[in-house]
Amino acid sequence: GDLSPHDPLVGADLSVLVGGELRRYVDLDAAATTSASAGVARAVQEFLPWYSSVHRGAGVKSQVSSARYDQARETIVRFVGADPATHVGLFPKNTTEGLNQIAFRLGLTRDDVVVSTAVEHHANLLPWRRHAQVRVVDVDRSGTYSVDAVVAALDERPAPRVLAVSGASNVTGWMPDLAGLAAAARARGVLVVVDGAQLVPHRPVDMAALGIDVLVWSGHKMFAPFGAGGMVVDRRLLVGGEPFLVGGGAVKAVSDTEVVWADTPDRDDAGTPNVLGAVALAAAADELMAAGPRNRRHEDLLVHALDAELATVPGLHRLGPTTGDRLPVVSFVLDGMPHEEVAQRLAREHGIGVRNGCFCAHPYLSRLFGLSTAEVQQFHDDARVGRADRLPGAVRVSCSSATPLADVAALGEAL
């Protein structure tokens, strides 16, 4: 059928003016942000009258808010296949904040090595670089790497402490063999941190079965609003040490000179939390758990539809793998037309929203384009003097499980 199986999204029926005529807006930018689902919007609406300060007030509203906040923590832990007894759920504002938080919390030093890959979003590269040495596993021209390549990096000396990888690429939709990677890291006593920003909205993740220590993702890519992401962490990693944010709520006692930190999650949750965001994230998690296999079938249809539509466009070159299991995310360039012009004309002339540029993954893009070291250096020098627009870029189309197949057909026709 033509209708997606997921709950309808708020704004799914938005219209835009195209050439003087109103048309249904086609949103093919789900990898950046998805609209809220109707179910999430309902959960927020129902909770709005109740939200209040948590864990501090004695009033009824405060008790309801606290209970819902604690319940949301449990929901997100179970959502990713972890046990609340061994794993704690936190609500960083997004993946970026979560990865910054965990990179800080692991107490890394300049002598520590983190193994990561050339596929990563900047969010899963720069926080590690700030605290430790990053050993980058390279990709081939198709934009993929093997478990063997990661194993070689894990076996290099000095031995690494952390493996930090994305569950799926925001540029190509490619997914590494997460089970194989996690098993190799664990066998060597290396912690496994997964950037789940793209994976979690599309696939069920079982942290316990996979052997993942830390998983981070964003609510705004899985039908919840901005401002609350999820981070599920093995509790043992958060027992000691200073929290990332210090302040009220993170302490047991403060004197003029000393502080006794609270146990996690309070230790890692200073300040008034985003309870509404947590409730929305938990509602989105409940919805995805219920939708699972139906969503998967629909997404596979979207992948096939994208492959078929894009194959008919003359002069279109895709970046990254075009076979195997992928998310419905594709980046490409068109001969003779700059990426920004493609994106602008799709919006203006066809009412289709896509994204263009480098997708916060410059090292990955430079490899997908086969740039030399000298060329990369030239782009850096240009950017330093204010000419960042010279970086090579592409057009990205990305679907969620709520994208109708008709939207992919509309894209094909427009291209």
Catalytically active residues, by annotation: 360
Tokens of 39: 């179910």
Counting contacts by CB under 6 A, is residue 123 touching ligand PMP?
A: yes
What pairs with residue 319 in β-bridges? Answer: 331
Interacting span for ligand PMP (CB under 6 A) from 88-96, 276-284, 307-315, 345-353: 88-96
Interacting span for ligand PMP (CB under 6 A) from 72-80, 118-126, 262-270, 377-385: 118-126
Interacting span for ligand PMP (CB under 6 A) from 195-203, 243-251, 300-308, 382-390: 195-203
Cβ closest to ligand PMP, residue 173 vs residue 273: 173
Counting contacts by CB under 6 A, is residue 170 touching ligand PMP?
A: yes
d(CA 136, CA 120): 10
Counting contacts by CB under 6 A, is residue 96 touching ligand PMP?
A: yes
Give residues 204-223 in contact with ligand PMP (rule: CB under 6 A). 218
Question: Given CA atoms 315, 318, 321, 322 in this order, what sign does their dihedral have?
Answer: negative
Contacts of 175 (CB under 8 A, 6+ apart): 167, 168, 169, 199, 203, 325, 326, 327
**Residue in 54, 197, 212, 319 binding ligand PMP, rule: CB under 6 A:** 197
How many residues sit close enough to ligand PMP to count as binding (CB under 6 A)? 13
Minimum CB distance to ligand PMP, residue 72 (Å) = 18
Give residues 287-306 in contact with ligand PMP (rule: CB under 6 A). none
Dihedral (Cα; 323, 329, 335, 338), 10-degree rounding: -160
d(CA 239, CA 234): 10
Counting contacts by CB under 6 A, is residue 116 touching ligand PMP?
A: no
Tell me if 123 sits within 8 A of 95, measured CB to CB. Answer: yes
Residue 402: CB atoms within 10 Å? 23
Minimum CB distance to ligand PMP, residue 116 (Å) = 12
Minimum CB distance to ligand PMP, residue 228 (Å) = 10
Buried b (16+ CB within 10 A) or exposed e, 280-318: bbbbbbbbbeebeeebeebbebbbebbbebbeeeeebeb
Minimum CB distance to ligand PMP, residue 197 (Å) = 3
Binding region for ligand PMP (CB under 6 A): 94-96, 121, 123-124, 166, 170, 195, 197-198, 218, 360
